[in-house]
Amino acid sequence: MTTQLTTTAAQWRSAPANGIDIHYIEAGRGEPLVLLHGGMVSTNPIWAPTPVSYSAHMERLAEGFRVIAPDTRGCGRTRHSDGTVTFDLLADDVLALIDALSLDRPLIAGFSEGATTATIVGIRGPDSVRAIVNDAGYDFFNPGARSFTIMRQILGGSPQATDADPDAAAAGFAQSPEMQVMFELLIADQDGAQGDGHWREYLRSAFHRTTRSPGYTFEDLGEIAVPTLILVGDRDQFCTAEEAVTAYRALKHGELGVLPATGHIITPAAIDTTINFFERHR
């Protein structure tokens, strides 16, 4: 069933792919653009007021592209039955969705965790996409990235944590009004889609893939055959500009964009840069 959304000219849809039903939002017309959300959020429009979601930018992107924005496995409306959700599995879900929707080498972009997945799609399926934008998700290709320690602290309550601790995570979010709002949205989103307490399962799933190397390094970026933009804010607390340069230099057809006075967020400037890149590599 298709339900009309009220906040954008978009529609909820779902498609069977890679053994699950992947739920996604579709908006706009033109060349397809697969848009992958970051960690902790989903495609739910309730995230639109926050700076870490594509929801507030869907209408802008839909002006020039057929945007297809899935909820990743185990997040939002897309369910996961059993087992570990790795980046390889998330990438294979995207490849299966591209096939299920008969998309001919779509464009693909992601932010943070979604950017990591988008890039692994380019490694695992070299002929599957036309161009890639990695916005603040290249850090995980550094096995020594500081991001892994940060995520252990956020999701496990300690830089040395070996498993998620949802209660410790809740206490950490409560330390600042901004993070508390994020936490409340997380609960409303995840539990509203998949039942009371699902937010805990989501954090456990996210802990596994965001606190250790996905098995790929910067050297593996050389396997990507299509134009790829590495996008970073110069004040990103997760991704460093130095890592961005390393990622860019590893690519065969790479471009590098540095956004001034920008942290780990999605800004209108990031969207404009993404659109400009895709328009040059249609």
The H-assigned helical ranges of the chain are 58-62, 87-100, 113-124, 146-156, 166-173, 177-194, 198-210, 241-250, 268-280
**Can you give the pTM of this predicted structure?**
0.96
Give CATH superfamily name and number for 3-144+216-280: Alpha/Beta hydrolase fold, catalytic domain (3.40.50.1820)
Distance CA 98, CA 199 (A): 28
Q: For residue 147, how many other CB atoms are within 10 A of its CB?
A: 24
Confidence of residue 7 (pLDDT cuts 50, 70, 90): very low
φ/ψ bin of 18: left (φ > 0), alpha (ψ from -120 to 50), beta (otherwise): left
pLDDT grade, residue 41 (50/70/90)? very high
Q: What pLDDT score does 282 carry?
A: 85
Q: What share of the chain is helix, strand, coil (3-state, %, to 5)?
A: 40, 20, 40
**pLDDT attached to residue 104:** 96
Give yes or no for a contact between 96 and 23, defined as CB atoms under 8 angstroms apart. no
Give the chain's mean pLDDT: 95
Cα–Cα distance for residue pair 63/44, rounded to 1 Å: 20
Q: What is the pLDDT of residue 5?
A: 47
Determine the average pLDDT of the residues in 258-276.
98
Q: Is the pLDDT of residue 8 over 80?
A: no
User: Given CA atoms 186, 46, 107, 279 in this order, what sign does their dihedral have?
Assistant: negative
Residue with tokens 């059993």: 82
Per residue in 89-131, pLDDT tens?
999 999 999 999 999 999 999 999 999 999 999 999 999 999 9
Per-residue confidence band for 82, with pLDDT thresholds at 50, 70 and 90:
confident
CB within 8 Å of 168: residues ≥ 6 apart = 156, 157, 158, 161
Q: How confident is the model at residue 174 (pLDDT cuts 50, 70, 90)?
A: very high
| Tens-place pLDDT, residues 210-219 | 999 999 999 9
Per-residue pLDDT at 6: 42
Per-residue model confidence as pLDDT tens digits over 234-257: 999 999 999 999 999 999 999 999
Domain boundaries, the chain: 3-144+216-280
Residue 202 pLDDT more than 60?
yes
Percent of the chain with pLDDT over 90: 95
pLDDT of residue 237: 95
Under the banding of pLDDT at 50, 70 and 90, the label for residue 10 is confident
In the chain, pLDDT over 70 holds for what percent of residues? 97
